[in-house]
Chain A
């Protein structure tokens, strides 16, 4: 099969397994996309793990530890897929801490309060799940298969997030302010999360059927599902233009700053360097363990 035939094959619903012949461009695109996903799961752990240590009840501590554990587990599944495509996990992690590869914008921002914990688990995870559900149809079958497990585990996270937010919204005035303040800070990154509205026909990820949902469709799905949930709690969204058009059900909003998104994902977010530095440090400190335990014969 040449590239054109392969593209027709995947667009027609054809599946690709690990050992199958595939165009080099496809394999490289897969590695880049899937590696970024793995990086994101791993970097997403860092903002959340601080709050495990500060969780104000035993139940929240357990729930948050479990959520983060799932995310580490997802990173493991994802990097295994990348490794089987030809890039070893160690190479992925080395490139990540060296700032050579990317991860999603939302994990470049700091967290400030327990309000962030609720907003992240409720809305950031919701935005991610929309993308992840679309990946269930990925032409590369090993990746589509792990997405099934990932989506199932993520369903617990959203419930946890909503519970945290609802408890605060039905609590004190101070707690409600914590949620609103967190939402004000996270709204911008959330609107940028699904990427700029590139046309599907121009998106190689779409042509290879690695992605099967256009960026704008994902964003609209997010707004449709979650803005009503935000408003019904009496929270405001910091975008005066945000509204759903009656004629066609399309959400209008202030155009996100796409330059800012590009700037952030290329390693210039407010928390990027601190987080990569922390990962680099812990990776260096535990290198001896990997050498002694994984590299040496059992």
Chain B
């Protein structure tokens, strides 16, 4: 095991949670209706909260702090998957499609992290899994509602578009389980697609990074 084994194990998840939380919080104040605005904001906060806990764990090992990991790295150093970087506001169909695909994939990877040889990682994964149950319920509820509505096609087109991205969330070893779950819910087999892998960043990432770090970079080293 390398020296930074814990950090290696969780930074991808941390970066994904940070960015999907950031993207989800873009809906604050402009969600389709007010009740949903409040609910979706809690989901965004949950994701940022998970990112924070994961960064804190990684930071102990790396000799830094959570905010430095979240905000002070260069764009190339982030390990986020392309799915969470995509700018989807004001498209609610694609937002729910991503939300549903991400939560389904995330459940699989978090369950695997519960088996980590590091007790801290396993413990944190268990905590995250408990909160994610609510996120999954919310995503399933919306996916079902949209699939049963007159706007079914809009939602299914969004799922088809984001499917290759969502495969990139998981390592190869976990993708079959993900395919099976999605297939079960949609009631048909998933489209054959080349996964859009982690490693490169989408065009949407750099503007996100710039906005996310703008205040932070305005007064270097300051406390906020």
Contact = CB atoms under 8 A, between A and B. Distances in A.
Contacts of B124: none
> B34, B66, B71: which has the most chain A beta carbons within 10 Å?
B34
Nearest to A170: B223
13 contacts: A49-B26, A56-B71, A56-B215, A58-B55, A62-B49, A73-B34, A79-B34, A282-B90, A285-B91, A286-B31, A288-B151, A292-B150, A296-B150
A167 B32 CA distance: 35
A55 interface: yes
Interface in B33-50: 33-35, 37-38, 41-42, 44-45, 48-49
Interface of B: 22, 25-26, 28-35, 37-38, 41-42, 44-45, 48-49, 51-52, 55, 66-67, 70-71, 89-92, 145-146, 149-151, 154, 211-212, 214-216, 218-219, 222-224
Contact of B222 (A59, A62, A171, A292): A171
B29 A42 contact: yes
A282 B28 CA distance: 11
Greatest chain B CB density within 10 A among A42, A51, A57, A68 is at A57
Interface of A: 42, 45-46, 49, 51-62, 65-66, 68-69, 71-73, 75-76, 79, 89, 113-114, 164, 167-168, 171-172, 174-175, 278-279, 281-282, 285-286, 288-294, 296
Contact of A290 (B29, B32, B90, B222): B32
Contacts of A57: 67, 71, 216, 224
A54 B215 contact: yes
By secondary structure, the B interface counts as: helix
Contacts of B145: 292-293
A68 B41 contact: yes
- Among A61, A62, A75, A279, residue most surrounded by chain B Cβ atoms (within 10 Å): A61
Given A171-B222, A289-B32, 7 more contacts: A54-B215, A62-B52, A66-B45, A113-B215, A174-B222, A279-B30, A286-B92
B214 A69 contact: no
B222 A175 contact: yes
A289 B29 contact: no
A286 B32 contact: yes
Contacts of A76: 34-35, 37-38
Nearest to B151: A292
B57 to A, nearest CB: 13
A72 B37 contact: yes
Given A54-B211, A62-B49, A65-B48, A294 B37 contact: no
Nearest to A89: B34
Contacts of A294: 33
B34 A72 contact: yes
A175 B222 CA distance: 8
A55 B26 CA distance: 13
Contact of B42 (A42, A46, A69, A293): A69
